[in-house]
Amino acid sequence: MFRRSLPAETIRVLKSSPLWQNLCSDPELHPEIRTDAVTVYYRGGALLKELRVEEGSLRADLHHKFIPLRRSGASTYIRLSGTGEAGLDFADSLEPLPLGRGDPLVLAAFKALIDQVLTDFPEAKIVHAICCRPENQIIDQEITFQESGQGRDKIDLCHFDYGLGKLAFAEVKRKTDPRLLERGGRPEVLGQLEAYGHRLRDYRDDILNAYRQVVRWKRELGLAGRLSHVPEGGPSDLLEKPILVIGNCTSEDVRRIKAGEAEWKPLMEGLKEVAAGLILCGKDGCRLNLAKGTQTVNYLV
């Protein structure tokens, strides 16, 4: 079973919260609905994990690496002092910078620290660039499918492909990801995409129902502008195979991959069976639209 949920009390509190309004006003932040909570993503990291209402108050979790310090001066260094016997201690008191109402300067400090921490997640940068393109109708990201006692599948993006008029899911890889290439057998990504397709077909009705409700909740919470091309009642159909997106490509990479040259031949020979299509892009993301594009391979036509 696949579901999303958000209590009426949480919606009421968020709508009246200046923090929520500032989060929604920042186009680089992406609130996604989970189970009775909202997680706010920035560059693939959770700025706020499971933002929820408990006993009438907002609660959320934040990774300790993402918390900036409040300092009195502009220096990036922190002074220490002490006696020879006791050693060194901080000369100034150090406190975490409160997120507070999420004013732009405060959010900028949190985002700057997340940028420093997440340098080793190249796929996350591509996903973030895709999410920040206003033409893309992102409904969810970091979607996990898991049944009790079984393994899980996690796919990067759920969006509405307004060219096709369907809910669609995209898996994002960088061009240098070894899972795209043959390593003594079938490219690993083909198995990933095949597993995602099984999930989409098995949970088709649950997924459509869940994301119709997500669209309604997002619009009620002030995110309607990000879903302007999604029908009023939400998506009515689902693309039952995922889309593969390969980022950090040059124009020559695009030509070679589409032609299935050399090391790309095994991927391109097997992709049609497990994917609805392929989108190739550089470092600035892409338009999630299979209907047209010189950097797109559409297996639906």
Q: What is the pLDDT of residue 92?
A: 75
Q: What is the pLDDT of residue 149?
A: 63
Q: What is the pLDDT of residue 119?
A: 79
CA distance 18 to 35: 23
- Mean predicted confidence (pLDDT) in 122-142: 94
At 246, which amino acid appears?
I
Q: What is the pLDDT of residue 58?
A: 95
Q: Is the pLDDT of residue 83 over 90?
A: no
Q: Is the pLDDT of residue 229 over 90?
A: yes
pLDDT tens sequence across 86-107: 889 887 778 899 999 999 999 9
The DSSP code for 35 is B
CA distance 266 to 185: 9
Q: What is the pLDDT of residue 148?
A: 63
**Dihedral angle sign, alpha carbons of residues 265, 269, 274, 278:** positive
Q: Is the pLDDT of residue 228 over 70?
A: yes
Q: What is the pLDDT of residue 141?
A: 96
Share above pLDDT 90 across residues of the chain, in percent, rounded to a whole number: 78
CA distance 196 to 203: 11
pLDDT tens sequence across 178-198: 999 988 789 999 999 999 999
pLDDT band at 73 (very low <50, low <70, confident <90, very high): low
Q: Is the pLDDT of residue 77 over 90?
A: no
CA distance 21 to 26: 9
Q: Is the pLDDT of residue 294 over 90?
A: no
pLDDT tens sequence across 39-50: 999 998 999 999
Report the chain's mean pLDDT, rounded to a whole number: 92
pLDDT band at 72 (very low <50, low <70, confident <90, very high): low
Q: Is the pLDDT of residue 164 over 80?
A: yes
Exposure letters 106-136 (e unless 16+ CB within 10 A, then b): bbebbbebbeeebeeebbbbbbbbbbbeeeb
